[in-house]
Amino acid sequence: MRVALLNLIGLLLLAGCQPKEVVIPDSQQQAWWKEAIVYQIYPRSFQDSNGDGVGDLQGIIDRLDYIESLGINTIWLNPIYPSPNADNGYDVSDYRGIAPEFGDMETFDRLLDELHKRGIKLIMDVVVNHSSDEHPWFIASRSDVHSPYRDYYHWWPASKGTPPYRYSLFDAQGDAWKYDSITDAYYLHYFADKQPDLNWENPALRQEVYDLMKFWAQKGVDGFRLDAFQFAAKDTAFPELPQGYEKNFIQYYAMQPGLHDYLKEMNQQVFAPYGVVSVAEGAGRSFEEAHELVDADRQELQMAYAFDGVDVAKYDGYSLATLKQVFTDWDRSFAEKGWLSIFLSNHDQARLVSRYGNDSPEFRVASIKLLNTFLLTMRGTPYVYYGDELGMTNLGMDRIEEYQDVAAVNGYAKATYNGEDLDQYMKVLAKTSRENGRTPMQWTADTLAGFTTGIPWMKINPNTAFINVQDQVADPSSPLNHFKSLTQLRKKNPVLVYGAYELLAEDHPQVYAYTRTLGEVSCLVVLNFSDKTARWAPIGLSLGEQPWINSADQLIQEGKELIVREKKGEDKRYVYYKIQA
């Protein structure tokens, strides 16, 4: 029996034959967006170039050498449009402009040009389930019931009585209808009351959206991510919904009739003519609905961005068995058709290593290496959130006064209104708030983290003193350099992009193991998700003699036994192997 001794959190075994030409099966037609490694940038927090404490486009330009050095080839940029910032840019007041705090259109054009010179593509966030209440469309819509913009939004005349209850994710009382006295009517907002929902039944509104997307496509943007778009179609009769439906609101809000018609129309007018990639936030309520969104013959979107994986981790932790099942089930469903996004973090989540790993000093480095290894060895397009290449952690704010996010502030107000235990609410918030994932990028060890010379818009995590780019660049065994090795490995080995996935050790309580196979090339990935030594016997697999990357203190292969040892107290590491054919 061949035994792999997994001393600590992260042993990775990758295996393959000697490099040879690989034939990609017809079922996995090659495309740049399948081979992309997406790096998500939250612009407000990435790099401030002018000392106002807010990250900006020039700051991104100034850091392009770093971005290129990561080995990524695509950037997803969170919204940079003018906005009142009720939801940090996800309430857009001008879809064709640049927010002054981020720069101007000339700077954006220069950023796009510099990215393309480096072979890096740009995906823009498009927020068109809703707009800002300060957008000219809404200002005109609310001003007069006869305005041509009235039907750009959803209105319920007060003369008809109180509208049927609709749940709002961000409202302080959970009510998605907001009364507006100007025309004695209620408007709909699934999110904050400053984010009124757009009426996609209106063809004039749809054409406005397609035209604004063409504006950016004509500039050379390479793709669009459609924020909250699975909620765009609505039953405008607004029938009563079952009591308590908000506990499972996705079943009633997502993928309503008409959505596919809108996406096909968008594809015909924007995606296909301009050759841009498209991905929607959310992937429906089932595998079948996900395929209806992204299968090539549907001519709608191209990448499914499903939340099941990122939602596994909760306040009180998660089950490795559940994580395995979720990713395995999604891969199995997409094995022959369609394409997935692979991610465990984004701007709406707390930090990756604090949610899915162990951010204690003893295990933080090992944890983030393991998690990035997972992301970059799965089938699907990996999305990596800024700072996760370093292992940036939660900030963990204890007082509600420290929070700016509308979800946190209004959530606290809602908890107060409902008479909840506010101490418990704050404990959960400190660990799970998405503000944890929005702290400024940690470039250096100084108190301002190299992010700004002014007062930062958000508190900088004090652990920038020992978690920062400058230190990790100089450390060959750092999470940053491990991440760079992974991106190069993925780009050089098509098996890690297109190879079939097979789960191994399904019932092992500590180990997540799987193979990736493409033609005659096969690789094995073994990850110990626990903080204890794990043993697993990879029966039937023949390990090659030389590792692709070996960062263990000792690697010993004695006959059929493989042993990896680490020095006590040092970082937990990973090993990559080739398997002999």
pLDDT tens for 410-440 read 999 999 999 999 999 999 999 999 999 999 9
Question: Which pLDDT score, from 0 to 100, does residue 544 have?
Answer: 60
* pTM recorded for the entire structure: 0.92
The SS3 assignment for 226 reads: strand
* CA angle (335 as vertex; 332, 337 as ends), nearest 5: 125
Mean pLDDT of 33-40: 97
**Is residue 561 predicted with pLDDT exceeding 60?**
no
C-alpha span between 455 and 160 (Å, rounded): 50
Place of tokens 């990879």: 538
| pLDDT digits 0-9 by tens, 243-299 | 999 999 999 999 999 999 999 999 999 999 999 999 988 889 999 999 999 999 999
> What is d(CA 498, CA 396) in angstroms, rounded to the nearest whole number?
38
Q: What is the DSSP letter of 572?
A: P
The confidence band for 61, taking pLDDT boundaries of 50, 70 and 90, is very high
Query: Beta-carbon neighbour count of residue 158 at 10 Å?
Result: 15
| Angstrom distance (rounded) from CA 247 to CA 249 | 6
Specify whether the CB–CB gap between 359 and 379 falls below 8 A: no
Which strands form 500-504's sheet, in the order they lie side by side?
Answer: 500-504, 511-518, 521-528
Contact status, residue 391 vs residue 362, Cβ threshold 8 Å: no
Residue among 494, 441, 550, 569 at smallest CA distance from 54? 441
Q: What is the pLDDT of residue 524?
A: 85
In this prediction, residue 316 has a pLDDT band, given cuts at 50, 70 and 90, of very high
**For residue 432, what pLDDT is reported?**
95
What is the rounded distance in angstroms from the CA atom of residue 401 to the CA atom of residue 263? 41
pLDDT digits (tens, 9 = 90+) for 460-504: 999 999 999 999 999 999 999 999 999 999 999 999 999 999 999
Conformation bin of residue 216: beta by default, left when phi > 0, alpha when psi is -120 to 50: alpha
In terms of phi and psi (left: phi > 0; alpha: psi -120 to 50; beta: otherwise), the region of 414 is alpha
Torsion angles phi and psi, residue 554, rounded to 5: -140, 135
Specify the DSSP class assigned to residue 50: S
* 333-to-253, 327, 336, 499 alpha-carbon distances in Å: 23, 10, 8, 15
Instruction: Give the span between the Cα atoms of 234 and 281, in whole angstroms.
Output: 17
Over residues 143-161, mean pLDDT? 98
| pLDDT above 70 (res 581) | no
pLDDT band at 541 (very low <50, low <70, confident <90, very high): confident
Residue 105 sits at φ, ψ, to 5 deg, of: -65, -35
Q: Which of 281, 292, 331, 359 is catalytic?
A: 281
- The angle subtended at Cα 498 by Cα 493 and Cα 499, nearest 5°, is 80
User: With contact defined as beta carbons under 8 Å apart, do 426 and 410 qualify?
Assistant: no
pLDDT surpassing 80 at residue 19: no
Residue 560 is predicted with a pLDDT of 43
**What is the percentage of the chain residues whose pLDDT exceeds 90?**
82
Mean pLDDT is lowest, of 14-23, 126-135, 147-156, 289-298, for: 14-23
**C-alpha span between 281 and 423 (Å, rounded):** 32
> To the nearest whole number, what is the mean pLDDT of the chain?
89
pLDDT of residue 577: 37
Query: Of 227, 359, 388, 566, which is the active-site residue?
Result: 227
Is 227 a residue of the active site? Answer: yes
Q: What is the pLDDT of residues 196-207, one digit of tens each?
A: 999 999 999 999
**Which tokens sit at 519?**
């033609």
Cα→Cα distances 518→18, 22, 218, 580, Å: 13, 7, 37, 14
Higher model confidence: residue 526 or residue 397? 397
41 has a pLDDT exceeding 60: yes
pLDDT for the residue numbered 300: 96
- Span 67-87, mean pLDDT? 98
Quote the pLDDT of residue 570. Answer: 36
Mean pLDDT across 210-235: 97
Confidence of residue 543 (pLDDT cuts 50, 70, 90): low
